[in-house]
Amino acid sequence: MATIEVKNLSKSYEYYKKERGLFGSFKSFLFREKLYAEAVKEISFSINEGELVGFLGPNGAGKTTTLKMLSGILYPTAGEVKVLGFTPSKREKAYQKQFALVMGQKNQLLRDLPAIETFVLNKEIYEMPDDEFKRNLDELIELFEIKDILDIQVRKLSLGQRMKCELVAALLHKPKVLFLDEPTIGLDVVAQKKIRDFIKKYNQEKKTAIILTSHYMEDIRELCRRVIIINLGKIIYDGNLEDLIRKYAPHKVLTVTFNEGGASREQIEKYGEIAEYNPYGCVIKTPRSEAKNTAVALLSSDLPVDDILIDEVEIDDVVRQIFNR
């Protein structure tokens, strides 16, 4: 049985249309046209125990709305959701003790109190025995290296420190399912890597099912083998990340560096499409099957080649191409 099972899930919001100006305001008192916005449209997917799945999409695609329905914050308009065998919208206590939702743009920590106060509060909320609480807390404190900031008011912490504490608060009760909505937003590259390393380690050790949304493609590349892409409320791709790259990026990228003297654009053009160029280096797009042959041809040529690096197309470019389609 899948840990998360979603079938034909939909969520729509009703709102009222208002005409412009003062007359429009008066008119709305007598008559208001009701409209509906579909945030999520009949999506279906399943996630097994231990899977770490990237949930991608542009702003307004329906990612956060979906996570809120999976966690029971929002009621679906239609469709069925099962997480660990529970229906999230029923908000059963037994279910609430087994999942955690971390939103990078929302705080669960009490801003005017030290983080340790929120940890103790969560202990009571989740009815954790003292020994279990202490054991889990000590493990997370050591893992995130936050021992020195536990007694500092949350509002005085840096964004990276606060995000670490947010994760500790969410993971104290050892959830079996973890929803991460932009957990590295606004963090510097060092803090992002630490958060990613932790998520990867936690997933491997605890076999927790994790859904991760992020606009940082490095998060997805480092953590997720499978991605679900949603746009305008509908799933447009669900599968392996590598297959996604192969399908939507039929070429590879060669980064070529030249020795002193360089090379002209005319000398390079015959080896493939030039994406970037200067006399001492260039980026060439070449068909995936021809990448190695092109590299050999460059090395065998009269050009002053110093180094060649063969890379996949950036995931950002692949996803952007999908959205544009």
Chain segment 77-101, per-residue pLDDT in tens:
999 999 999 999 999 989 988 999 8
47 and 190 part of one domain: yes
187, 211, 246 - which closes a domain: 246
**pLDDT value of position 129:** 92
**pLDDT value of position 52:** 93
220 and 257 part of one domain: no
* Residue 192 reports pLDDT greater than 90: no
189, 214, 246 - which closes a domain: 246
196 and 47 part of one domain: yes
Taking every pair of Cα atoms in the chain, the longest distance, rounded to a whole number of angstroms, is 80
Arithmetic mean of pLDDT, 245-252:
79
List beta partners, residue 86: 83
**pLDDT value of position 15:** 75
* Residue 5 reports pLDDT greater than 90: yes
**pLDDT value of position 9:** 92
Rounded Cα distance between 315 and 321, Å, is: 10
**What is the CA angle 209-64-202, rounded to 5?**
25
Express each pLDDT in 138-157 by its tens digit. Answer: 988 888 888 889 899 988 98
* Residue 215 reports pLDDT greater than 90: no
Mean per-residue pLDDT over the chain, rounded: 86
189 and 254 part of one domain: no
Question: Which residue's entry shows tokens 């990228």?
Answer: 253
181 and 284 part of one domain: no
Place 1 in a pLDDT band, splitting at 50, 70 and 90. low
164 and 93 part of one domain: yes
Q: Are 221 and 244 in contact (CB under 8 A)?
A: no
Rounded Cα distance between 180 and 208, Å, is: 12
Place 233 in a pLDDT band, splitting at 50, 70 and 90. confident
30 and 131 part of one domain: yes
58 and 134 part of one domain: yes
Express each pLDDT in 279-318 by its tens digit. Answer: 888 898 888 888 889 999 988 888 888 898 888 777 767 7
**pLDDT value of position 273:** 87
For the domain that residue 275 is a member of, what is the CATH number?
Answer: 3.30.70.250
Q: Are 303 and 261 in contact (CB under 8 A)?
A: no
Greater model confidence, 117 or 18: 117
Greater model confidence, 94 or 320: 94
Place 246 in a pLDDT band, splitting at 50, 70 and 90. confident
For the domain that residue 175 is a member of, what is the CATH number?
Answer: 3.40.50.300
Express each pLDDT in 61-76 by its tens digit. Answer: 888 899 999 999 999 9
* Residue 325 reports pLDDT greater than 70: no
* Residue 44 reports pLDDT greater than 90: yes
69 and 128 part of one domain: yes
Arithmetic mean of pLDDT, 225-252:
85
**pLDDT value of position 166:** 87
**Number of folded domains in the chain?**
2
**pLDDT value of position 134:** 92
- For the beta carbon of residue 182, count every other beta carbon within 10 angstroms: 19
- 290 lies in which domain range? 250-324
246, 261, 277 - which closes a domain: 246
72 and 200 part of one domain: yes
136 and 271 part of one domain: no
* SS3 (DSSP) at 40: strand
* Residue 8 reports pLDDT greater than 90: yes
Q: Please, which residues have CB within 8 angstroms of residue 21's CB and are 6 or more apart in sequence?
A: none
* Residue 20 reports pLDDT greater than 80: no
129 and 164 part of one domain: yes
